[in-house]
Structure 1
Amino acid sequence: MNKLLGATAALAMLAAADSAYAARDYVWAAGSSTVFPFSTRVAENYAKKTGKKSPKVESLGTGGGIKMFCGGMGEKYPDIANASRPMKKSEFQACQKAGVKDIVELKIGFDGIVVAMDKKTPDFNFKLEHLYLGLADQTLRGGQLGKNSFKTWNEVNSGLPKTRILAYGPPPTSGTRDAWVELAIENGASKLPPLAKLKDSDEKAFKAKVSPMRGDGAWIDAGENDNAVVGTIQKTPNALGVFGYSFLEQNANTIKAASINGVKPTVATIANGTYPISRSLFIYVKKSQIGVTPGLKEFVNEFTSDAATGRGGYLQSRGLIPLPPQQHDANKAKAKTLPVMAAPKS
């Protein structure tokens, strides 16, 4: 009798464990606000084509999405992390520690980070070092590194408009913020000889000094809703907004973008890398959830299909910059074979 009760209890535990993985009957993706509109469009098309329940897509920022994704396996955690930067080594290690060991990395296209303003605002032609000098918490002034005291853009450089420095941008949890700091702020700081010397001698100290954004009201963390930033700069005279290119394209009738190093953000300049603040976009998939979460395989295939992310695909009309054809074909094949990613180097 005791043996029978023991066997019954063991079977019940196994059933409970199985149900923890299989109870959810829809795909769940969470993460980047930049990837969010692309992911929701794929979800809509997937649901129409398959008749399955529409996937749940959440905009939490890249860091927030990966943290949730790496929390563990089963129905309580997303199947997919949307990301507007590569997964970090520390995030990968957190995944491994929580039992998420079979991650597949898929690049879905490119995006540019734009510095935008209302169409009535004067035109800006920034150099990367201007963005660093105007928006970083500590900057060089008179050869000394200290708290940022620039009030107007023409104080930073006489060729810039005489308007107050005010920018709304992504918060620290956002992949857009990570890419912005690396591609615009740090690269801008490294154009200045004293900081370039510091970077060469002690990169960690360099990042600690130049990376924090202003906290005196000149830079405002505007949350994960990039559409809200678009609305804010339309209502706030001379304010700048920092967000993904797709939001510029969707609102091109009311806002415009600054040139960076003499280059305007366009599909062509982002794809070929001549626009300085451009980046790759990714989705991360739990391979072991394929066949467990209903529709996950089909959703991943839809995301990497010619119809979605290929040249002329429906995501291009939403502002995604497609991969070159050869890379797209390789990515499409990768979505079918699902090779597990190696640990990131940094």
Structure 2
Amino acid sequence: MFTKTLCVSAIALATAAAAPAFARDQINIVGSSTVFPFSTTVAERFGKSTEFKTPVVESTGSGGGLKLFCSGVGEDTPDITNASRRIKESEVKTCAENGVTEIVEAKIGFDGIVLANSKESGQMSITLGDLYMALAKDVPMEDGTTKANPYTMWNEINPELPAVKIEVLGPPPTSGTRDAFVELAMEGGCKAVDWVKELKKSDGSAYKALCHTIREDGAFIEAGENDNLIVQKLQANPAAFGIFGFSFLEQNSDTVQGSLIDGVAPEFELIAEGEYPVSRSLYFYVKKAHVGMVPGIEEYLAEFTSEDAWGSEGYLADKGLIPMTDDERAEGAKAITGLMNLSM
């Protein structure tokens, strides 16, 4: 595991650049638990179909992966990091401060974030507004004030929701899924309140604190970076709900089901068409300084961006990845395999 922060000096960078290759001969990949199954699938195919070793893929969460990726250049740092959100400007700055100055961005497709529960219980249909009111730390009142979230049962928010305790298993703050859920679902429901929309214009910090802060009183339970563990817990507790990527819903569709959000089901075609309201782009990032130093990176990129992999009929679509359009893939493959530098 890449767990130490490296302080890379100019001398060390010059030495690494002059060396013909790292001692390591296996690609190391960290990052998003959502992208993990896609990256692992490509890595396994790559290892079986080429002369290169199968890349090592580790699920650390998007934030954790980018922290490791940006820690420096050298064989003790990752070559690639997966992310279920785009890299932040602050992370690009940290990378640069540690000598990671050339980064290749690879947008690979789309994913939907689902609110799922066991098939032993009924399927829920919920609005973004109701979902926000269930999970926010503080909730907005009609008179323009806020109060600590008082809701303990779903039907207290909306009588059409089930009369069961609010118990939602979700990702930690280091997860890109958490970031995207907060931005798309929580904020989407929060700004449905008229005075909150005005707050965004007058006090952006207060708006973000109100719309992005998840409650910490036990109704929302951080379940770590392992989405498969959330699925297992939903099977053990049919009254609970879980938040994770669409691919995990599809892989476990025999035991769990996704809730309708604003009347739209989390289905492959509806996410691809942009109709499902909680969908996001998926990425991975490549450390350009490692290309040519660790064998197989360029070939791995070629495999990932092949039509057999990320195409509309590719093997990653079978795993739940929502493909980009033909034109987006063509343009993306050219930029990725051409090792174009990230532009924010």
Instruction: Report if the CA contact (8 A) 1:139-1:147 is conserved.
Output: yes
Instruction: Report if the CA contact (8 A) 1:29-1:58 is conserved.
Output: yes
Aligned to 1:125: 125
Q: 1:16 to 1:88 in 2, by over 3 A?
A: closer
Task: Give distance in 1, aligned partners of 2:149 and 2:213.
Answer: 11
Secondary structure (helix, strand or coil) at the match of 1:237 reads: coil
Aligned partner letter, 1:317: D
Q: Deviations over 1:145-201 (max 9, x none)?
A: 111110111111111111110000010000000000000001110001121121122
Q: 1:15 to 1:92 in 2, by over 3 A?
A: closer
Instruction: Report if the CA contact (8 A) 1:20-1:75 is conserved.
Output: no
Secondary structure (helix, strand or coil) at the match of 2:282 reads: strand
Q: 1:54 to 1:190 in 2, by over 3 A?
A: same
Task: Give distance in 1, aligned partners of 2:292 and 2:322.
Answer: 30
Secondary structure (helix, strand or coil) at the match of 1:111 reads: strand
Aligned to 2:163: 162
Q: How does 1:27-106 map to 2 (within 5 A)?
A: 27-106=27-106
Q: How does 1:1-346 map to 2 (within 5 A)?
A: 22-141=22-141, 143=143, 144-343=145-344
Instruction: Report if the CA contact (8 A) 2:223-2:230 is conserved.
Output: yes
Secondary structure (helix, strand or coil) at the match of 1:315 reads: helix
Of 182-191 and 333-342, deviating more is: 333-342
Q: Deviations over 1:54-113 (max 9, x none)?
A: 111110000000010000001011111100000001001101111111101111110000
RMSD of Structure 2 on Structure 1 (CA): 1.9
Secondary structure (helix, strand or coil) at the match of 1:114 reads: strand
Task: Give distance in 2, aligned partners of 1:173 and 1:125.
Answer: 28
Where do 5+ consecutive residues of structure 1 fail to align?
1-11
Give 1:287 deviation, angstroms. Answer: 1.6
Task: Give distance in 2, aligned partners of 1:55 and 1:311.
Answer: 24
Give 1:209 deviation, angstroms. Answer: 2.2
Secondary structure (helix, strand or coil) at the match of 1:59 reads: coil
Give 1:14 deviation, angstroms. Answer: 7.5
Of 82-91 and 192-201, deviating more is: 192-201
Give 1:237 deviation, angstroms. Answer: 2.9
Instruction: Report if the CA contact (8 A) 1:21-1:75 is conserved.
Output: no
Give 1:342 deviation, angstroms. Answer: 1.8
Q: Deviations over 1:192-248 (max 9, x none)?
A: 112112112222211112212111110001000000000001111310000000000
Structure having the higher Rg:
1
Aligned partner letter, 2:105: E
